[in-house]
């Protein structure tokens, strides 16, 4: 079921003309940018009147108060009730059903607060947002007169009355075929001025778009970084396979010891450069850091064993050559028997 939306706002004497001009669309240069002047002819006025709102308010207060007490200059003379619903709800109604909604809501308010106190009722059908969605709204203006004849918006609209009124309207509309339920009970939700709401939403949309753009850029960077990690992993796997292959072929390398000795310097430099590049890459490895670190440690250990084996073989060979040379020299000198 859709939600009923109610909002009560109060107006002092100095604001009555502006309020009436807005509701009657007397002037087209209204601040509400959603108003479509070409649609204003579709608005409905449910209560006929001859005088201005200021004149009608004065006539009503004079009649009720009988000039026994002066009205304070800062008194709230009009309480405007705005009756609406979820935007999607109005999209389900025909134009005639929208009019019936406004007429029914007006009648319910008159029955609760007195027909003589309800001076104006306008159904606005000319407000359309940038997406082409219509936002109908009923504006009912009444003099905040209590049952004992006191002009006081505070006395009429205490917290209990606001709660009971919301429930009353929801039940009354449901009884007349409008499937609306009251909003959350004792909600702390506050109503915003339409222009403030629109500005806030525009800022929210802009921030959302900016965040979305930042997120897309971050996703691209992550994908790029992921590809780099995969490439580095493949490179490390290749290095591991190469070292294993070199380890398996250690016996064959003995025959090419002399040639490999000439290449040791270049290989050591290459290995140093390779370790430096590995260290730089390791800095960027976030997810695989720990596992790759352990793997690199094992690879270096294998390299060290190979190098130590080669050095030992080299020293042993040099020692044998030296012994052989000394033995020959001794033979030549006749020292060997």
pLDDT tens by residue, the chain, 337 residues: 899 999 999 999 999 999 999 998 887 656 678 888 888 899 999 999 889 999 999 999 888 766 566 788 889 999 999 999 987 899 999 999 999 999 999 999 999 999 999 999 999 999 888 888 889 999 999 999 998 888 999 999 999 999 999 999 999 999 999 999 987 665 555 555 555 545 555 565 566 667 777 788 888 888 888 888 888 888 888 788 777 777 767 667 667 666 777 777 787 888 888 888 878 776 776 676 677 778 878 888 888 888 888 888 888 888 889 888 888 888 877 654 4
Strand partners, 324: none
Coil/strand/helix, residue 123: strand
Place of tokens 């001076």: 119
Distance of CA 54 to the CA centre of its chain: 45
pLDDT at residue 250 in the model: 61
CB 51 within 8 A of CB 59: yes
d(CA 107, CA 102): 9
Q: Final residue of a domain: which of 156, 188, 220?
A: 188
Residues 6 or more apart whose CB falls under 8 angstroms from that of 186 comprise 163
Q: What is the pLDDT of residue 26?
A: 83
Tokens of 34: 């959603």
CA angle 268, 273, 278 (to 5 degrees): 120
CATH number for the domain spanning 136: value is 3.30.930.30
Are 111 and 147 members of one domain?
Answer: yes
pLDDT of residue 336: 47
Verify that 6 and 114 share a domain, yes or no: yes
Q: Name every residue whose Cβ is closer than 8 Å to that of residue 61 and which is 6 or more positions away in sequence.
A: 71, 77, 143, 145, 151
The per-residue pLDDT for 14 is: 92
The answer to whether residue 201 is domain-embedded is no
Same domain membership, residue 172 and residue 252 = no
Domain-terminating residue out of 188, 222, 247: 188
337 falls within a domain: no
pLDDT for res 202: 56
29, part of any domain: yes
Q: Residue 249: inside a domain, yes or no? A: yes
> Which of 188, 223, 253 is a domain's end point?
188
Distance CA 113, CA 79 (A): 11
pLDDT at position 168 is: 96
CB contact at 8 A, 16 and 77: yes
Dihedral angle sign, alpha carbons of residues 51, 52, 53, 56: negative
Query: Is residue 294 assigned to a domain?
Result: yes
- pTM beyond 0.85: no
In a domain, 32, yes or no: yes
Tell me: do 133 and 85 sit in the same domain: yes
| The pLDDT value given to residue 204 | 55
Show the tokens assigned to 202: 């525009």
Judgement on whether residues 130 and 267 belong to the same structural domain of the protein? no
User: For residues 60 and 55, what is the distance between their CA atoms, to the nearest angstrom?
Assistant: 9
Residues 6+ apart with CB under 8 A from 145: 60, 61, 64, 113, 114, 117, 151, 156
13 and 121 housed in the same domain: yes
Same domain assignment for residues 78 and 6: yes
**Segments forming the whole domain that contains residue 269:** 209-332
Residues 293, 179 share a domain: no
Residue-level pLDDT at 198 = 53
Domain membership of residue 203 (yes or no) is: no
In this structure, the answer to whether residues 218 and 150 fall within a common structural domain is no
Are residues 327 and 255 part of one domain?
A: yes
Residue/partner pairs of 221-229 with CB below 8 Å, 24 or more apart: 225/284, 228/284, 229/284, 229/285, 229/287, 229/288
Are 311 and 176 found together in one domain?
no
Q: Quick one: pLDDT at residue 209?
A: 66
CA distances from residue 189 to 5, 48, 62, 192 in whole angstroms, order as listed: 12, 34, 37, 10
Question: In degrees to the nearest 10, what's the CA dihedral of 242, 245, 249, 254?
Answer: 20
Instruction: Report the pLDDT value the prediction gives residue 172, as an integer from 0 to 100.
Output: 96
- Asked whether residue 196 is domain-assigned, the answer is no
Residues 180, 214, single domain; the answer is: no
Residues sharing a CB contact under 8 Å with residue 30, sequence separation 6 or more, in sequence order: 22
pLDDT on residue 263: 78
How many structural domains does the chain have? 2
10 Å CB burial of residue 248 (0-12, 13-18, 19+) is exposed
């Amino acid at each position: 079921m859709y939600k009923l939306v109610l909002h009560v706002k109060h107006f002092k004497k100095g604001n009555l003309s502006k309020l009436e001009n807005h509701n009657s669309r007397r002037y087209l240069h209204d601040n509400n940018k959603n108003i479509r002047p070409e649609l204003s002819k579709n608005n409905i006025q449910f209560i006929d009147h001859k005088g201005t709102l200021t004149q009608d308010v004065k006539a009503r207060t004079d009649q009720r108060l009988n000039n026994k007490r002066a009205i304070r200059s800062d008194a709230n003379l009009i309480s405007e009730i705005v009756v609406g619903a979820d935007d999607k709800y109005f999209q389900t109604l025909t134009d005639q059903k929208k009019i019936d909604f406004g007429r029914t809501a007006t009648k319910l308010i008159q029955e609760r607060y007195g027909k003589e106190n309800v001076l104006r009722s306008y159904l606005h059908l000319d407000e359309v947002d940038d997406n082409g969605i219509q936002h109908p709204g009923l504006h009912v203006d009444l003099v905040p007169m209590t049952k004992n004849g006191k002009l006081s918006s505070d006395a009429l609209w205490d917290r209990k009355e606001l709660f009971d009124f919301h429930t009353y309207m929801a039940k009354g509309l449901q009884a007349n075929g409008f499937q609306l339920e009251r909003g959350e009970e004792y909600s702390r939700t506050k109503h915003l001025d339409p222009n403030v709401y629109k500005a806030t939403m525009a800022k929210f949309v802009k921030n959302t778009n900016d965040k979305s753009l930042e997120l897309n850029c971050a996703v691209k960077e992550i994908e790029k970084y992921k590809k780099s990690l995969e490439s580095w992993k493949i490179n490390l796997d290749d290095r591991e396979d190469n070292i294993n292959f070199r380890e398996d072929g250690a016996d064959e390398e003995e025959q090419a010891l002399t040639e490999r000795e000439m290449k040791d310097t270049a290989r050591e430099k290459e290995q140093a450069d390779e370790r430096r590049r590995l260290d730089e890459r390791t800095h960027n490895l976030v997810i695989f850091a720990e596992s790759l670190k352990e793997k690199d440690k094992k690879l270096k250990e294998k390299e060290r064993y190979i190098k130590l084996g080669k050095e030992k073989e080299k020293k042993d060979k040099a020692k044998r050559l030296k012994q052989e040379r000394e033995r020959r020299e001794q033979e030549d000198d006749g020292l060997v028997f």
